[in-house]
Amino acid sequence: MNATTASKGTRVLGALALVGLALLLLYGLVLSPADGVSVAQATDGQRVGQGDYVRIMYVHVPTAIIAFLAFFVTVAGSVAYLVRRSEWWDVLAHASAELGAVLLFATLVTGALWGEPTWGTYWEWQDARLTTTAILFFLVLGYLAVRRLPLERDRRSRIAAAVGLLLGPTTIVCHYATTWWRTLHQGPTISRLDPQIEGEMLLALMIGMATFLVLYVWLTLHRFRVLWLENRVEDLGLDRALAERRAEAGGAAPAGGATPSGAPS
């Protein structure tokens, strides 16, 4: 039997994600223009901008924004779990945090690779946006580490939910870091009614946003199902272990009914 975590819905989402990826590659790498020429390549009379480095924006910004969205889903799932004690919310919070961690890792690396040619440095600890993003990344790694603690599931989920709540304020501080403090990192590009870019650049960025949103929903569904199955396997293991212990205790019991030495009473 070829069992997978796929369903008709996830197959449709997967197909949409592939179409989005193709469009993103087309617009991000081919159809959208370069932003002038980079300083290193500029000659007299040419407009100095980011050159082709601007194409990194079409993956860097969407991964960052969707990672933030993922963390808010984790916060919502954590709150709902603490209120309702529902496994569904607990698993959703976990699945979303995993996706957020991967996307934020991509954000950090693409940001560093973009920063070197445009700012002259891969990383700057004095920059509030970069530093709060790093804090957010380590916080979500901590959250995922808590999820692996060898504890009884309810207790582990409660601790994870408490840590998960911290992702909310940290994400907000990270998002507004460029507004609240003077930073090397540029301010918002599209989170205004008046976007700072236009034409094919804006279109490529919007395609990137839509594509990573679909990817996020698609992969969160798969991760949710995997984590749900992990819980069922864990339950099954516990049930089997209990049954074996009972069988051992019953089989080893002497005819007189006395409990053998070392057996659970």
Using CB under 8 A, which of the segments 52-60, 144-152, 163-171, 199-207 binds other proteins?
52-60
Minimum gap (Å) between residue 4 Cβ and other proteins: 6
Q: Are 14 and 218 in contact (CB under 8 A)?
A: yes
Torsion of CA 225, 18, 29, 130, to 10 degrees: -10
Positive or negative torsion for Cα 6, 144, 172, 75: positive
- Of 113 and 243, nearer to other proteins (C-beta) is 113
Q: Which is nearer to other proteins, 99 or 167 (CB)?
A: 99
Is residue 53 involved in binding other proteins (CB under 8 A)?
A: yes
Task: Give the N- to C-terminal CA distance of the chain in Å, as an integer.
Answer: 42
* Choices 69-77, 111-119, 192-200, 244-252; region in contact with other proteins by CB under 8 A: 111-119
- From 138-146, 153-161, 166-174, 230-238, span contacting other proteins (CB under 8 A): 230-238
Among 83, 236, 242, 253, binds other proteins (CB under 8 A): 236
**Binding characters for other proteins, 151-180, by CB under 8 A (x = yes):** ------------------------------
**178-186 — which CB contacts under 8 Å span 24+ positions?**
178/128, 178/129, 180/128, 181/128, 183/127, 183/128, 183/129, 183/130, 184/115, 184/119, 184/124, 184/126, 184/127, 184/129, 184/130, 185/127, 185/128, 185/129, 185/130
Closest CB to other proteins among residues 81, 114? 114
**Selected binder of other proteins within 23, 52, 181, 217 (CB under 8 A):** 52
